[in-house]
Structure 1
Amino acid sequence: MKKNIIVTGGSGMAGKWVVKDLLDHGHQVMNLDRTVLPNSAARTMITDLTDAGQVFNALCSTTVRHEFSESIKPAPIDAIIHFAAIPRIMTHPDNEVFRINVMSTYNVLDAASKYGIKKVIIASSETTYGIVFADTYRMPEYLPLDEEYPVDPMDSYAMSKVINEATAKAFHARTGSDIYCLRIGNVIDPVDYAKFPEYFKDPGFRRRITWSYIDARDLATAARLGVDKDGLGFQVMNVAADDVSSDLPTAELLKRFYPTVPVKKTLGEFETLLSNEKIKRLLGFKQQYNWRSHVK
């Protein structure tokens, strides 16, 4: 069934694949971003998501592509996929990372609740586990990292994502809407696979992300599956590939880098250390793209 969907951050590296996937599946899509997504059937509305007035106005605007369309009357929004954010530390001052990520998410959820939009998918992050951007490297409490792992970050980006999850849970309690927070692993655009041979020369280089990755096209599928799946309430789900982004077997990575860390389950030869079991169970997610199909 065709749905009317708003994507925030749809001009970004991950967001552009989300927009494309939704369009490919027949949905009406509008992108809210600070820059235009070029060559897309989705119209971009330039929006500062930290400005509540702009968010409220954007969410009640028409989503049709062109002002000369037969009808430009606004239609109800079926779902929001909120991917807009400062995506990491060390690109903006820490307080700006925190402010922009927290306020934009609050504004989106607040407007969605008051307009009666019953489905919001939010980009959270694996950084919430407190390992990726720790000041000095932290050993995990256990592996693989799952949604029950205690979130305990020290950096502004991961803290903003923890706050966003708490905000999402509060709005779900208020409205009963479905709000799914996707704790996303390291997103790989297809062009990024060219970097993998260099990664393999230093097996420890991607240790902070526990060698997680997710192809941007698979991430787009996960977001769409969240739109399609109703009735789960508030959920937090990891989004990761089935395998590690290393040419070394998982057992070898554990032996070299985590010899004292408890392992909660028997792992496959190259199995991910960022568990994706929950999203498979709840949304029926299946990985379609892996690095071995792209790297010789």
Structure 2
Amino acid sequence: MSKRIIVTGGSGLAGRHVIAYLIQRGHQVLNLDLAPLPENLARHVHSIRVDLSDAGHVFSAFSSHFRLTQPFREPLGRPADAVIHFAGYARNMLAPDNETFRVNTLSTYNVVEAACKLGITKVVLASSVCVYGVTFAEGDVDFPSFPVDEELDVNPTDVYSIGKLCGERVARGYTQKYGIDIYVLRIGAVICPDDYAQHFERYVRSPSDWKVHGWSYIDARDLGQMCDLSVAVDGLGFQIFNATNDENTSGLDTKTLLERECPRTAFSRQMGLTEAPISNRKIKELLGFKEEYNWRKCYKLEKESNGPFRAFMGKLALPLSEDDALDD
């Protein structure tokens, strides 16, 4: 069923793929961002320039029309069906630490508060796997156990991740106070469709360098599916979901990879042959996520015309997938 969805930060690399997916699913989208949308999306989605750290901006924008028409054809007063909040600084050191913390935490607070007080009953928040405390740690830090799931205690030390964790706490409190659904997506390293070669040649050649990403990733289009499912599935209250794809990024089997790279880290259960260390089991079970964009197949499509590609793929410890070897 088509829904009216507000997306914040939809002009960013991840956000624009989420918006594209939502449009393809037939939803009506309003984008709130300081930057404009790319032209191909701007033809279908109206954007309002909004400073989300200003509560007045947020309340006003959340009460806006979704489309600019002459005259306005849709009556005001009907709340959006959902808000998907992606806006904010995407990592450390894009701004001074205090500004990163101020913008990210205050924006999330304003979005959640406005949604609750304006009668919007579904909020989807973009958090990050950085909250597990490894990505921006001071030095080399191990994950507490594998697989990394949503039940693990988290204690990050960098300002970006602490800000994300603050947003999760705001969401949990407001869910209890107002009785709405707020689903938090702890998003892995986002890979856009044209970026597979750039990222995975490094991931596969030097897996020891990528504990910081948990040897996990999320295709931007699969992230769109996760957002769509989050809007569609009601009644779960406050939930945290790891937003990652199915397989690890190394080209090795997961047990071999983790025993080599993290020999002191225990396993809480047996893992699948190539299962991503940051587990997406919960989002598959509760929301019905099904991966569409496996990195091996996407990488093959991007590089299949490249001569050195087969030699490179031949160095992987596993074929294209567990039951699908690379064609001759």
Q: Aligned residue for 1:138?
A: 141
The amino acid across from 1:293 in the alignment is K
Identity %: 47
Residues 202/61 of structure 1: CA separation in 2 closer, same or farther (3 Å cut): same
Deviates more, 1:11-20 or 1:193-202: 193-202
CA-CA distance at 1:70 after TM superposition: 5.6
- 1:287 matched to 2:291? The reply is yes
Aligned counterparts of 1:141 and 1:200: Cα–Cα separation in 2: 24
Partner SS, residue 147 of structure 2: coil
Q: Aligned residue for 2:4?
A: 4
TM-score (norm 2): 0.87
Kept in 2: contact 1:29–1:63 (CA 8 A)? yes
Q: Aligned residue for 1:27?
A: 27
Q: Aligned residue for 1:67?
A: 69
Residues 241/53 of structure 1: CA separation in 2 closer, same or farther (3 Å cut): same
Aligned counterparts of 1:218 and 1:202: Cα–Cα separation in 2: 25
Task: Please point out which of 225, 228, 232 is paired with 1:224.
Answer: 228
Partner SS, residue 242 of structure 1: coil
Kept in 1: contact 2:79–2:119 (CA 8 A)? no
Q: Aligned residue for 1:181?
A: 184
| Offset from partner CA, 1:49-99 (integer Å, 9 cap, x none) | 0010000100000001x3336615334211000111211112221111111
Kept in 2: contact 1:8–1:84 (CA 8 A)? yes
> What's the RMSD between the two structures over aligned residues?
1.2
Deviates more, 1:71-80 or 1:270-279: 71-80
- 1:116 matched to 2:119? The reply is yes
Aligned counterparts of 2:60 and 2:269: Cα–Cα separation in 1: 48
- 1:203 matched to 2:207? The reply is yes
Deviates more, 1:81-90 or 1:249-258: 249-258
The amino acid across from 1:155 in the alignment is D
Q: Aligned residue for 2:57?
A: 54
TM-score (norm 1): 0.97
Aligned counterparts of 2:28 and 2:139: Cα–Cα separation in 1: 45
Kept in 2: contact 1:197–1:295 (CA 8 A)? no
| Offset from partner CA, 1:87-124 (integer Å, 9 cap, x none) | 11122211111111100000001111110110000001
| Residues matched between the structures, number | 295
Deviates more, 1:213-222 or 1:244-253: 244-253
Unaligned ranges ≥5, structure 2? 301-328
Aligned counterparts of 2:180 and 2:2: Cα–Cα separation in 1: 20
Larger radius of gyration: 2
Deviates more, 1:83-92 or 1:108-117: 83-92
| Offset from partner CA, 1:214-266 (integer Å, 9 cap, x none) | 10000110011000001000111111111011112212211221111101111
